Amino acid sequence: MDDPRYYINRELSWLEFNGRVLEEANDKTNLLFERLKFLAIASNNLDEFFMVRVSGLMDQVVAEFSGKDATGLSAKAQLMAISAKVHEMCVKQNNCLTRSLLPALEKQGFYFLQYKELSKGQKSQLKDYFFSTVFPILTPMAIDQSRPFPLLNNKSLNLIIELKGEEENLIALMQVPTVIPRIIELAGPEPGKKEYFLLESLIKKYINALFEGHDVLNVFCFRVTRNSYLDIDEEDSEDLLKEIEDSIKRRKWGYPVRLEVEKKMSPHLVAYLKKNFELDPEDIYEIQGPLDHTLWFSFINQSGCDEYKNPLYIPAPLSDFEGKGIFDAIREKDILVHHPYESFDCVINFVNAAANDEKVLAIKQTLYRVSGNSPIVSALIKAAEKGKQVTVLVELKARFDEENNIVWARKLEKAGCHVVYGLVGLKTHCKACLVVRKESGRIMRYVHLGTGNYNDSTAKIYTDIGYFTSKETFGQDISTLFNLLTGYSTNYKLKKIAVAPITLRKQFEDYIDNEIRNKIEGAEGLIIAKMNSLVDKGIIKKLYLASQAGVKIKLIVRGICCLRPGVQGISENIEVFSIVDRYLEHSRIFYFANNKNPFVLLSSADWMPRNLNRRVEISFHIEDKALKNKIMDILNITLSDTVKLRSLQADGTYIRIDRRGKEFIQSQVEFIEKAMVQHNRQAVGKEEKVFTPIYQTGQT
């Protein structure tokens, strides 16, 4: 079980995932601006990968850490493998843009011009724009004995300028401004055309205006990515909020981990940057075309181009709440919501109703990532101002959302909320909201649990599941959870939920063992699990044992998967699938056949060491038969996908499902149409499909 051949390296598996995102940019069946969006997402993903994962491996090399991962690779070996893979990916990104997307844009009338292609009027427009708007913003930074190599912001786009000197040439740097658009729309195109020019090209054209009296020999673009991992000593920190604020400021100036340069940059200038950033040759990436493909995010948001994007889908309202007070509806029955197909508004309404209801005495909620203008937080503030007891656990260590969460934490405290910043050494990642209400002389507890964040923005683009209940057992368990998080309680007696790092791992392992026993005793053995990532070696070993016992295992893993399926004698009964589509697959669902009396769980946790060992996570049982069937339908439709579903091979690569002779099924589109049908909206002339229930037959 410890043989390195049976595992896939975590970092290389993540790069395979980003490769699947890039495939969507190359996929000509996607609409044009959707393809550009996927290209931008792949670029943004790669930035974060270097800022966190690559920097962590570099730290290990510097510290001379001798450990190896499950595949037997040292940190240095992983860095070399990553570099080779990312260099290949950069070529694919460049080819995707220059050979496919830009020509496709031109066919639709969108042109990115070179200076020689500009009309006389456009040249005049750009010259006026440069001297009136761009020139006053620019700050050239000379480098000499009195002015050392400057600190350059993380992910900033910069120019290196070589000037002719008397004895040796001079070097200056300049940041391309981010306070004005990088894509400049040009005036006077022919009818039916839109023409553009890049800001960095405009600066290059008029660079001499910034260095009068000198001859400019060369100007090239480059971009540096820095270590952005927050290194916080929670044990010795007297003020965690202050410590995190200081760490965020340091993030801008972390040590360099990647240098991107224009492909045509002179070798001696590349060497100059390499020396000053103290990087190795494998950390340098030559880019053909514009650097930083995240620029396409702004381009695809321009108005008047809806025909090049997926039609806007407005999430369907949940009929369970129609014509009823929200607490009446939840008291009547448990309710399950599938986002973004079904609206997140019910969650916002739940917290809003609690804030405004005179019978509500207290609200307790966890917040991991929230939107910049969060209606959830506004409702909590309103509740506190109305005198209700409001307790909010704000996770300050939510990566890249720390600043946002600090702002909200301060506003909540100022309004009178009791704000808790989480537990030392643990991130609080569970999603829970408890409303305590006095009804007819007794206390009722209403609970919302979810697989995703209380974020109204991401709820429109992440697939997640929310669960409402007024069952007393759930109310007791969530009350116990908040007592664990805010006080010194050691009461772990939970009936309906399991909590990491206390009981969650054991629950998953026990349920896998149960499937093994059932299979050995002649019953069906079946596990279906959907998650973002599968990394935990202990869980993988359990799945291998289950496979060897004959248990059929179907895993839907969006991103990283370190389990190697299809290995004879080890994992031949395991299939792994991944979906990359218009929405980010984010829900965590776990199904265990349990001899025809299935356990169906939802969770905030992936099967990763950090989720099971170093985070506060929960899983919770779905017991209502109708809700179980709704979740099983989600699994069935997902596994029936013949358009976006990819299958992991034993060699660590992914292939698309062979759909020859199969019905055209795109699961996310099916969920949209299903929501429209069920909520009495026009379903574009389609009837609901019937899917073979995998949980009964064990087959797709």
Which residues are catalytically annotated? 429
DSSP 585-634: E---EEEE-TTTS-EEEEES--BSHHHHHSEEEEEEE---HHHHHHHHHH
Helix count and strand count (H, E) for the chain: 21, 27
Q: Give per-residue burial for 381-394: e unless 16+ CB within 10 Å, then b.
A: bbbbeeebebbbbb
Q: How many residues does the chain have?
A: 700
CA atoms within 13 A on the CB side of 4: 9
d(CA 85, CA 88): 5
Q: Is the peptide bond before 103 cis (omega within 30 degrees of 0)?
A: no
* H or E segment and range at residue 330: helix 326-332
Q: What is the DSSP letter of 277?
A: H
Largest CA distance in the chain: 91
Give the Å distances, CA to CA, from 604 to 289, 332, 452, 533.
40, 26, 7, 12
Do 589 and 635 contact (CB within 8 A), yes or no?
yes
523 CA to centre of own chain: 39
Q: What is the DSSP letter of 408?
A: H
Integer Cα distance of 509 and 113 in angstroms? 59
Sort 194 into a burial class: Cβ within 10 Å, 0-12 / 13-18 / 19+: middle
Cross-strand pairs, 439 = 442
Residue 127, number of CB atoms within 10 A of its CB? 13
φ, ψ at 264 (rounded to 5°):
-90, 10
As given in the structure block, the two tokens for residue 392 are 């909010």
Rg of the Cα trace of the chain?
A: 27
Enumerate the H helices of 386-439 as residue ranges.
402-415
The torsion defined by the Cα of 125, 126, 127 and 130, in degrees rounded to 10, comes to 130
Query: What is the helix (H) or strand (E) element at residue 265, kind and residue range?
Result: none
Q: Strand runs (DSSP E) across 145-283, as ranges?
A: 157-163, 170-175, 183-185, 194-198, 216-226, 256-262
Nearest in space to 372 (alpha carbons), one of 448, 449, 458, 450: 458
How far apart (Å, rounded) are the C-alpha atoms in residues 555 and 572? 13
C-alpha angle 540-541-545 in degrees, rounded to nearest 5: 115
Tokens of 104: 């496709």
Tokens (6 digits) for 368:
């991991």
DSSP 8-state code for residue 387: T
Non-local (6+) Cβ contacts of 587 within 8 A are 451, 452, 463, 464, 465, 530, 602, 634
CA atoms within 13 A on the CB side of 506: 7
Rounded CA-CA distance 692/684 in Å is: 23
Q: Are strands 462-469 and 584-585 parallel, antiparallel or unpaired?
A: parallel
